[in-house]
Structure 1
């Protein structure tokens, strides 16, 4: 599997790419009763072994477990691994087993909450002070009593959180007289025009697999209402994609296509090709996520910058896509107090936060006021951490619209965005088609 939005570089990447079919990240569940007064926040002194079910190719849990045992020698770990596909398919059986693990990588919830297979983490929110964390960052990990994501009880936490933005080639920027990242949409568009006039590709992008939708959603985020779009992504009854903000954002993409701001062969360019071409120096800007920061840094070095897509007006609040590398605690875990202590430790302990960043390149989450892990000064990873802190401050996290349903990406977003950047349809056409596919899939 890919490794994008997968903090593990697997899960998060796919989630970012839009949960290509198999990955509709319904990151949540429904209530399992528990009272805030009843939960403990102290770690046992007894010798215990915590069992984690994780995907292959995700070394973060190994590194975190090693450090936790170093700090708490009485706690050992057993990490069972399987392919992402197998783990996803077998998770209901694992959760229902009398030998359920204590923690499980769970990118999709399915009926696990309805079947009372997950631990409700809400009682721990006050107990541990998680209410100080970014509410928007955690919203996709909640589900209400009607089995709708985005509100209700908390059933997951992330081991790393992705964030999206724009990479800039500073060599091209210098040539164009651009001295700093744009701080408004108007400034961003002025930079695009400068690049086009100088025969420098304004935006390196590809849409063979629909990834131009990083840019599509960035513009919809700018023109639209974050909560309304979140409601649509989380399948809230009555929510619609067909809004003035969505149409305006899609129309802007059509306008950029008409002006030649994208590669002429954009619909023939896949993800790997477009990131490679950007890293080899083609294009002033690239819409992507922090999972690519280290790769861009390795290729472009100090001649690169990573920033949040600007707000409509200078000084405005930012909205950007991000997703958690989601893990859940099975209701049948035999070590609930200890494993939740471990989850809290991952977000709050300095060594753990550093490991999360070093292994995944993703922000460790937690309280925005907590000191950031150490990174090389001026690096793109440092840019990503600052972006995450700003987004938490602005309460601007939003899930990927490609995660709205299991089929929305393949059935509507990819083919319709290809028509949009091919200057074949209008923004209204794009939005209408996506909404119709969504409504059909959900039976609305």
Structure 2
């Protein structure tokens, strides 16, 4: 009796081990016509499942129809912590999403030998801007499908309120200020501001700094300046001035994201600074929502650059099916797959051959140039010991919004940290 039980347990254990091995690194099976079918395990981004699911469902259907020898086992299991653990334990799936040069993570994965170089698999990168290719490149080798969409920050506005008070979308920064002045004089909060939330309160800063100080940000990013640049001082002081003039929500420090969004969609505030990723939130709540990037003093509309990782996927160096994994990544890098994603999700394209889903998305793409994102600059000059990102998030920005420091003082705080980081 004991031998039989032991034998059963041994069989179950072997079966389970074989199943786990197949799940971790893809598997082979025989198709109806006797051909071999490869199954690729793919991890999608768990945090954005609700946004991306329709797009990837269609993409995977089309890919498997065009590649009947490859089956996609697509799972929303990709969290940063999960991927980090899988890299360390050598248990990555065949393909998974990565964030490129947004963070140091991909470079660390490459250095640990976890990623498959894609240069020899024929990915066509001719459609992409230089920044997109750099996003997925480490030491001259491409490790991920380049980004084809962007995330950015801009102003959403209530068209009905603008029409009621004879206001138009501003063409220069001075006109933007005049719009805010008019709304304030009419008793309407110009800009709903979530001053309580660490991240959401940053969007106005990113928008304003790109509009007023993009060249200065680029100089810092290239190691050619610091935060004492007069343009940077002016940008931070503008945030303080807006707070002092009452352009933001009353008691701004106690307003969270949900409260700010509700004030905007209920018509209590005329504008809100938010990300392109929240476009559907406002479309579903406000029938007459409009969008614009804050223009600079010269009228140029600069979108703070943040390339989207929605379709940037890498392959494990240990996949048993590198050719098939690369074939899937090649498809994600194609215009065909990207157009499907744009149509299904309303993502904002950075490549001209991808058509936006609708007029609203066209407004999200109505910028003159992509600019340097303040957060990217802060990330690039930070170290493990001195994180300027955290200093800005948790100290500088809340103090600007609540009138506790000036623009000059804000730059002094960041410059002191910059000196320590060098």
> 1:229 maps to what in 2?
217
> 1:35 maps to what in 2?
none
* Contiguous gaps of at least 5 residues in structure 2: 1-34, 100-104
> 2:164 maps to what in 1?
175
1:202 to 2:190 alignment: yes
> 1:82 maps to what in 2?
77
TM-score, L = length of structure 2: 0.76
Q: Given the superposition, is the C-alpha separation of residues 266 and 153 from structure 1 closer, same or farther in structure 2, using an over 3 Å criterion?
A: farther
* Contiguous gaps of at least 5 residues in structure 1: 1-44, 146-151
Contact 1:207 1:414 survives alignment (8 Å): no
CA distance in 2, matches of 1:399, 1:250: 11
> 2:293 maps to what in 1?
308
Offset, 1:281: 1.8
Greater CA radius of gyration, 1 or 2? Answer: 2
Contact 1:159 1:356 survives alignment (8 Å): no
Contact 1:208 1:266 survives alignment (8 Å): yes
Residue of structure 1 aligned with 2:346, choices 338, 358, 361 = 361
Contact 1:160 1:362 survives alignment (8 Å): yes
> 1:318 maps to what in 2?
302
Offset, 1:256: 1.2
> 1:342 maps to what in 2?
328
Offset, 1:266: 1.2
CA distance in 1, matches of 2:246, 2:94: 52
Q: Given the superposition, is the C-alpha separation of residues 176 and 411 from structure 1 closer, same or farther in structure 2, using an over 3 Å criterion?
A: same
1:394-419 per-position Cα deviation (integer Å, ceiling 9, x unaligned): 35464734655585444432321111
Secondary structure class of the residue paired with 2:297: coil
TM-score, L = length of structure 1: 0.73
CA distance in 2, matches of 1:247, 1:399: 13
1:370 to 2:353 alignment: yes
CA distance in 1, matches of 2:120, 2:171: 40
CA distance in 2, matches of 1:87, 1:232: 34
Greater strand fraction, Structure 1 or Structure 2: 2
Secondary structure class of the residue paired with 1:109: helix
CA distance in 1, matches of 2:301, 2:191: 23
Contact 1:321 1:400 survives alignment (8 Å): no
Offset, 1:338: 3.7
Q: Given the superposition, is the C-alpha separation of residues 154 and 324 from structure 1 closer, same or farther in structure 2, using an over 3 Å criterion?
A: farther
1:352-382 per-position Cα deviation (integer Å, ceiling 9, x unaligned): 33442355432254xx23040443xx3x234
CA distance in 2, matches of 1:253, 1:67: 47
CA distance in 2, matches of 1:333, 1:240: 44
Offset, 1:300: 1.0
> 1:259 maps to what in 2?
245
Offset, 1:249: 0.7
Secondary structure class of the residue paired with 2:106: coil
Contact 1:136 1:398 survives alignment (8 Å): no
Greater helix fraction, Structure 1 or Structure 2: 2
Secondary structure class of the residue paired with 1:119: coil
Q: Given the superposition, is the C-alpha separation of residues 119 and 433 from structure 1 closer, same or farther in structure 2, using an over 3 Å criterion?
A: farther
Q: Given the superposition, is the C-alpha separation of residues 101 and 289 from structure 1 closer, same or farther in structure 2, using an over 3 Å criterion?
A: same
